[in-house]
Amino acid sequence: MSAPVKLVTPYPTMDDVAEVYGISPARLKQLKSMVDGLVSRGRKKAVAVRNAGVRLRASKNTRHAHNAKRAAERK
């Protein structure tokens, strides 16, 4: 029995897909920048989730510093 045929699908680029749909080069440029924004926002979110403890500590420190400053001003 022959081995099952493996279907290998090449990944089209955004330019290829835009060509299929007839998206204009100017609009494609905007869409590409939208993808960049979505990807970088996703990365920032992932880092924020990963470093949640650090962020919490940082905000606590800021609050402590703020409270200490106010206490000093009251004296």
Partner 1 sequence: MPTTQRGRPSGSSILSRPAVFLNLPYDRKFESLFLAYVAGVCAFGMTPRTTLEIPGSQRRLDRILSLIGDCPYSIHDLSRVQLDRKQPATPRFNMPFELGLAVAHEKLGGRHAWFVFEEMDERLEKSLSDVKGTDVYIHHGKASGVFAKLGNAFLRTVPRPTVQDMNTIYDRLRSSVSRIMRETGADTLFEARPFQELAALASGLTSQVVIHER
Q: Which parts of this chain interact with partner 1 (CB under 8 A)?
A: 4-14, 16-23, 27-28, 30-32, 34-35, 38-39, 41-42
Q: How far is the CB of 1 from partner 1 (least distance, A)?
A: 16
Say what the alpha-carbon torsion angle 15, 23, 36, 10 is, to the nearest 10 degrees. Answer: -30
Q: How far is the CB of 5 from partner 1 (least distance, A)?
A: 7
Q: For residues 74 and 64, what is the distance between their CA atoms, to the nearest angstrom?
A: 15
**Closer residue to partner 1 (CB): 35 or 47:** 35
Euclidean distance between the first and the last CA atom of the chain, given in angstroms as a whole number: 89
**Closer residue to partner 1 (CB): 4 or 53:** 4
Q: For residues 33 and 39, what is the distance between their CA atoms, to the nearest angstrom?
A: 10
**Closer residue to partner 1 (CB): 34 or 48:** 34
